[in-house]
Structure 1
Amino acid sequence: MQWKDITNPTQIGEIKQQPGYSLIFKHSTRCSVSAMAKRRFELDWEAIPADTSLYFLDLISYRNISSQIAETFQVHHESPQILLIKDGDCVLDASHSDISAEEVAEVVKTNS
């Protein structure tokens, strides 16, 4: 699996319009907790179905996009944070130590 970087605000609308599952990982490059959560997530992400699009946001560089994500998907901004999007709606959001690839896989399995 591989991250697709979010660098343009128009990508948020595109993610919202995508059918199926997409995941957004909001990462603070200045935070050791965020680095640890990302590393843990990547170690287990093979549990997530391969057809799930994985997006990565460097929220230090793209703070405005992070705010747009919170508004678009009606979630409180946190960092680090994952949002699992299904057919344009956020069906799971988690932050800090609650970020889990296994939980994402379970939600996908349950809601498919």
Structure 2
Amino acid sequence: MKKNYKIHNLNEYKNKKKNNYKKRNKKKIGAKCILLIATFSVIILNLCGYSKISEMKYDIYYLQKDLRKKEIVLEELKAKETEKTSIKEIELKAKELLNMDYPKDGQIKYIDVDN
């Protein structure tokens, strides 16, 4: 309705006020619904974020656990490698498996190198 609209009788005035009240009431309900929907959407987004974070923490924990197991295996392999390449182990294998022995004094020949 126009602003300069003049009301001529009482029933018309009551209908106009009643309609304005209904419009205001609908606007209030609409605003409350929008606020409620916005609140629930923020809550749902927070829950999704926290679930994603907890899932990533779970993955990190098990990846660290797996990494620690692999580090232990790596340390064991390095220990076996150093055991096989140690001088005492090589000497023992040469004596037992290949029947090698240190050379005697008569078997050693020295070479003179003149510069």
- What TM-score bracket applies, with the shorter chain setting the length? under 0.3
Q: Which has the higher contact order (CA 8 A, sep 6+)?
A: 1
| Bigger Rg, structure 1 or 2 | 2
Which protein is richer in strand relative to its size?
Answer: 1
Which protein is richer in helix relative to its size?
Answer: 2
Compute the TM-score of the two structures, normalised by the length of structure 2.
Answer: 0.18
